[in-house]
Structure 1
């Protein structure tokens, strides 16, 4: 795989499943064979960063070293067994402490000056953060970018750990927004010191938690980046954590509502039968789940439980997952539910769709369990079954972090007023898979609609911000839909050449072979088959306004 192709794929999907890779071997840049004089000069420039006046009063540079491969970065839960093979670069590590108790670790990786493409890139994290993403740094530097990544203000042993927040409200502020900004400012200063000039363009790329921080950057720090890619963003953090808890409790709180993984293919097939053909094609992709009216009650067993039907309790669980959390006292929706088409699909580990998160479990887990226990209730032994979707929803939003900060103000990136980002000329691309069973695509649309209302409508918004919904695509990547696409190239063309993307071509690759391609269209447009040629070829589809 070439450096550019690896880089595009890795960043468009934010390398969601690269844990099986043991090394990066993408050597289109200066490596072992570099001339000794040039290598020595670059090593001197790298070492000089340590003593340079970076103008960062609360930041300390702890490492500045020239890296010649192979290089094994510090081991974290996301980099275990990872080695950078064919890329030389200057590695700078630092620590920012904007207030007492704040410890924001970051690293900046810089390609040699001759290989630098003039761009600076901020790399988003995933899960609940807690580790510098070395795989993504390696992909970025191999593509010619000066890049920065941060642990978002805490160190964890897993991507879903929440224990770091107990007794440390400052860390929640860092996690929510401050760490990404501090790392960005430091990263730019390091790059300026190393290259002797500012980057021509700055970009931020992230999916999931990285998408959350992408939108936080656009809302809070509009001057940080010229272009931003926000994939499957977890930007309504309180709402998302509540929705995940709701879905987990829907299948565990009442034993009658246990939804076995063996029943998910039955549910998924029924949804596909009801929804697939609504766009004129039966292609195992649901173009827009909002257009489909499906009730899992059609699958309720007429008698005894059987493999091809759902019990009354299982129907109730499915309905709850589709509906999303509500206030029991008023029926008010707190956050959208999961989309039709997210229930089941084949995955290499057998855990596609709800099977990975909401089925076959005994209690809610992952980030939501850790967040509720450590950040909301500040009690590692808190029983999640006690959660009250009236009072405890308010508690989750209003918990004080001091200095007029609450969990909601620190963690939610839901401000629809992006006028400052637009005014500085910033461009923003967001994408979200409709088959995402972790962060519902319904909220991506809801937030975008909020932005449309705040920014004066579709024309005024698409001047700088475009949303691409991806049928059949799961969380960041995966699922039956075409999930490989180059959002990075699209944002660069928009920022640097003024070419706003009307469509982005996505491919479904199986065993190295492209099985299907489709255009991802600017919301609210959708892809429609033109009536001739293969339905697996994007060339035979046009982006049109929905019926």
Structure 2
């Protein structure tokens, strides 16, 4: 029996492994929103910071920031493909994009620099609301942030705070405290809408296998969350974690597939092709094949089990066979 789900479906995959470990033999849980009560706080954090006077980044400004980051960090992996293989190794300082005194941030209808308020907003995106609340977003995904700035906090965060957490439809979300009010969220909402226990012992011991994947340029889920979740599980199982639970990060990947600003990145992940031999033959996946980029090219990508990354070995840079997971 197999389960495949992404986003809320990814959250449900983790809930199945945690609460119903005997139902499925193999689970794919992509872009998992399984810390849903805190995911909506991530939305609120980014929305409120973007609503500060002068801090909002229009799409032109987001693409300007993304272009600068990618230019600085694209070739860290020795391949110039317009994608940052491992954003954790990108040391680009966004302060370099701040406008000089008296400089106009827009020239000839194009963004040429960021205001100090915009720079701070980008830094807040990277930082997130705090390690104990939710991690931040990765460098290289800036051009995907518009939903965070404009809609997600209003469509998801505010209704949950008003209806479930504070039970007050007049509650002013601008008054939310990322200090004291997080405890209220954890008391009222987290037990009902989150499934974050890293102790999946029951699922492991009955032979279950779990694959999760996460795009580094996800517009919705901060990509460092699945890494944090995996690391918490590793603290329990140690090296034994890889025997039943593997995370595959997708450079330039979006939410449950391709990111619009990375059309050259394969957006279809052959996770079930990796899961079935693992469950039925005991062949653990050393990689997941990614295919079908939006630009229509034949580019394929080798997705590696975290913390490994794809390292170029020579040959065509657009073929997964030219890379090895190290």
Report the TM-score when normalising by structure 1.
Answer: 0.56
Cα deviation, 1:34-82, whole Å, max 9, x if unaligned, reads xxxxxxxxxxxxxxxxxxxxxxxxxxxxxxxxxxxxxxxxxxxxxxxxx
Matched, 1:271 2:69: yes
Cα deviation, 1:253-281, whole Å, max 9, x if unaligned, reads x2221222221111001110222111111
Mapping for residues 260-299 of structure 1, pairs under 5 Å: 260-299=58-97
Matched, 1:334 2:133: yes
For 2:63 and 2:14, how far apart are their aligned partners in 1? 35
Residue number in structure 1 paired with 2:284: 500
For 1:322 and 1:217, how far apart are their aligned partners in 2? 31
Q: Which has the higher contact order (CA 8 A, sep 6+)?
A: 2
Residue number in structure 2 paired with 1:522: 305
Contact 1:323 1:336 in 2 (8 A): yes
Contact 2:99 2:115 in 1 (8 A): yes
Cα deviation, 1:451-470, whole Å, max 9, x if unaligned, reads 11111x13x11111111111
Cα deviation, 1:201-225, whole Å, max 9, x if unaligned, reads x111110111111011111111111
Between stretches 408-417 and 262-271, larger displacement belongs to: 408-417
For 2:292 and 2:70, how far apart are their aligned partners in 1? 19
Greater share of residues in helix: 2
Mapping for residues 299-338 of structure 1, pairs under 5 Å: 299-302=97-100, 303-306=102-105, 307-326=111-130, 333-338=132-137
Report the TM-score when normalising by structure 2.
Answer: 0.92
Residue number in structure 1 paired with 2:108: none
Report the 3-state secondary structure (helix = DSSP H, G, I; strand = E; otherwise coil) of the residue aligned with 1:357. Answer: helix
Residue number in structure 2 paired with 1:242: 41
Cα deviation, 1:188-208, whole Å, max 9, x if unaligned, reads xxxxxxxxxxxxxx1111101
Cα deviation, 1:339-398, whole Å, max 9, x if unaligned, reads 111111xxxxxxxx012332xx38932222222222212223322211111121111111
Contact 2:267 2:294 in 1 (8 A): no
Report the 3-state secondary structure (helix = DSSP H, G, I; strand = E; otherwise coil) of the residue aligned with 1:206. Answer: strand
Matched, 1:484 2:275: no
For 1:509 and 1:279, how far apart are their aligned partners in 2? 20
Matched, 1:452 2:256: no
Report the 3-state secondary structure (helix = DSSP H, G, I; strand = E; otherwise coil) of the residue aligned with 1:255. Answer: coil
1:284 shift after superposition: 1.1
Report the 3-state secondary structure (helix = DSSP H, G, I; strand = E; otherwise coil) of the residue aligned with 2:298. Answer: strand
Residue number in structure 2 paired with 1:355: 146
For 2:216 and 2:232, how far apart are their aligned partners in 1? 19
Q: 1:284 to 1:409 in 2, by over 3 A?
A: same
For 1:454 and 1:305, how far apart are their aligned partners in 2? 52
1:378 pairs with one of 160, 167, 185: 167
Q: RMSD of the alignment, in Å?
A: 1.6
Please identify the structure whose Cα radius of gyration is greater.
1
Matched, 1:412 2:203: no
For 2:279 and 2:152, how far apart are their aligned partners in 1? 45
For 1:284 and 1:380, how far apart are their aligned partners in 2? 45
For 1:363 and 1:516, how far apart are their aligned partners in 2? 32
